[in-house]
Structure formats: C-alpha cells, structure tokens
C-alpha cells in the first residue's frame, strides 16, 4: 500500500512538473492566427472583403523577444491587411532597448493605416516608441477611413471624452473589453484578458488577468459584436496553457 502511494505521489509530481514546463516552454510559443468573417449590413459595399489584423498585449520583454516579434510582424504582413490595430500593453520590461522594437514595428504594412490605443500598463515610453513608428494614436479620438468608395467607416479609440454619433459603420478600439458598451459602435476589438493565460478543462481560468471577467474570445450583443484578443506576451507569470499567443484576422462583409 505504501509503495503504491509513493508511486502515485511521484506520478502526480511528474505530471505537475510536466504541465509547468509545457506551459512555460511550449504554451507561450506557437503563434496562432484566428480568422473570422464579420457580416454587418451597415458596412458599405465598397468595404466588402476589407481585412483587419488585430493584435494586443505584446508585453515585449516577457515571453516575447526580438525573435518572436519578427515572427509576429512577418505573420501580420502575410495577410496583406487593409488596417492593423493594436489594443495596448506594449512592454513588460521598461528597461528594454527601444531601437529593435521600433525597427520591427516599422515593418508592419497596411494599405489603409496602422492604429493603436493605450493599455493599462502603457507608459510615456510606450508612446515614445509608437510615435516613432507608423502607428496612429487613437486614444480618445476617431477617424473616418475610405476604401474603394465615397462612404467611409469610423475608427474610434476609447476615451472618456470621445463619443460616436456617426451614421457610419464604426469599429471601437479599446484595451479593456468592459468598455464595449460605453460608446455606440458596431464592432469592438479589445485585449487585456490574455485568454486567461492558464486554463484547465472544466476549471477554465486559473489566473485572473487584470480582473477581466471574460472567458471567451467572442460575444454577440444586440447592437454590436465584441472580439477579444488572446494577446501575445504574458503578465504576472510567464506561463500559458490552452491559451496560445495569437493574432486575429477579420474579414468584413455587408451580406
């Protein structure tokens, strides 16, 4: 009996050790691309097939280094996006050398612009980096984008002073998914949750990332859709389990 208990204890320890090692060395790697078709009758016909690439929570300096960032940029450009949006939390290590980050981010290409909103952990250093790239700061502002026609769509960056009384199809960019209903929009793109980072079957989330209470990547509401990025880096602990780093590709259609 004692021998069986020892064997069982050893097996449990090995399993736990295996999960920990997998979560750190495998779970944080292997970039996934999540593709979605978004249909909304309010979208102008000229925007049919419009491609949006969304990434979030890079946390450069955590499990994301220069090598990983190169892969991410290459993957983004592979889809030849019309716009690229970043929904916050650029850095994890505030002491990193900025030149390499700026250099890689400047390789991102999009025919109709590259946009970002700030995250909870972003700082003046984040702004300094992104201001040296092609990214357009959308914090507390909005911008009309035209594409193959005379009717635009509206890109809105979350902020306490920004509102949307636009007649046009509107995309809200925000770090915190809780903001999805605070400004009128047709499509909200958010980050922050990291897909809960560590999940177990039936138990689901283990780490409560920034208090965000969202277990899924997509939510449908009466007036709009909410998509939440799993993010790329890590926070609190450098582990991911059943929540691989990912970017999102959305193709927009009006029917």
Q: Which CATH number belongs to the domain containing residue 79 in this structure?
A: 3.60.21.10
Per-residue confidence (pLDDT) for residue 234, from 0 to 100: 92
**What's the CA gap between 152 and 247, in Å, rounded?**
25
**Which residue in 41, 38, 33 sits closest to 49, CA to CA?**
38
Contact criterion met (CB below 8 Å) for 192 and 120:
yes
DSSP three-state, residue 174: coil
Boundaries of domain holding 171: 2-253
**How many contiguous H segments (helices) and E segments (strands) does the chain have?**
4, 14
**What's the CA gap between 102 and 158, in Å, rounded?**
24
Per-residue confidence (pLDDT) for residue 165, from 0 to 100: 84
Q: What number of CA atoms fall less than 13 Å from residue 152's CA on the CB side?
A: 11
pLDDT (tens digit per residue) in 175-224: 999 999 999 999 999 999 998 887 776 555 555 566 457 888 999 999 99
pLDDT (tens digit per residue) in 80-101: 999 999 999 999 877 788 999 9
159 or 19: whose pLDDT is higher? 159
pLDDT (tens digit per residue) in 114-152: 999 999 999 999 999 999 999 999 999 999 999 999 999
Query: Which H, E and C letters describe 209-248, residue by residue?
Result: HHHCCCCCCEEECCCCEEEECCCCCCCCCCCCECCCCEEE
What is the number of domains present in the chain?
1
- The mean pLDDT value for 242-252 works out to 92
**What's the CA gap between 63 and 225, in Å, rounded?**
30
pLDDT (tens digit per residue) in 9-57: 777 777 767 666 656 666 678 899 999 999 999 999 999 999 999 999 9
């Amino acid at each position: 009996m004692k021998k069986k208990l020892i064997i069982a204890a050893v097996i449990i320890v090995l399993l736990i050790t295996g999960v920990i090692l997998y979560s750190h060395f495998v779970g944080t790697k292997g970039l996934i691309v999540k593709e979605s078709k978004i249909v909304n009758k309010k979208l102008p016909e000229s925007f049919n097939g419009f491609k949006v690439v969304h990434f979030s929570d890079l946390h450069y300096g955590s499990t994301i280094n220069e090598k990983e960032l190169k892969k991410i940029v290459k993957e983004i450009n592979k889809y030849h996006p019309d716009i690229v949006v970043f929904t916050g939390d650029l850095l994890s290590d505030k002491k990193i050398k900025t030149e390499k980050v700026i250099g890689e981010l400047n390789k991102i290409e999009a025919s109709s612009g590259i946009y970002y909103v700030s995250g909870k952990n972003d700082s003046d250093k984040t702004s300094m980096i992104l201001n040296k790239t092609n990214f357009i700061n959308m914090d507390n502002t909005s911008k009309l984008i035209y594409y193959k026609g005379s009717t635009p769509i509206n890109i809105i960056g979350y902020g306490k002073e920004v509102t949307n009384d636009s007649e046009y199809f509107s995309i809200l960019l925000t770090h915190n998914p809780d903001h999805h209903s605070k400004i009128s929009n047709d499509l909200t793109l958010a980050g922050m949750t990291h897909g809960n980072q560590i999940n177990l079957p039936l138990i689901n989330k283990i780490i409560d990332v920034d208090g965000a209470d969202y277990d899924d990547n997509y939510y449908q509401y009466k007036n709009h859709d909410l998509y939440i990025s799993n993010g790329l880096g890590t926070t609190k602990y450098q582990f991911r389990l059943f929540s691989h780093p990912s970017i999102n590709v959305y193709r927009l259609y009006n029917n």
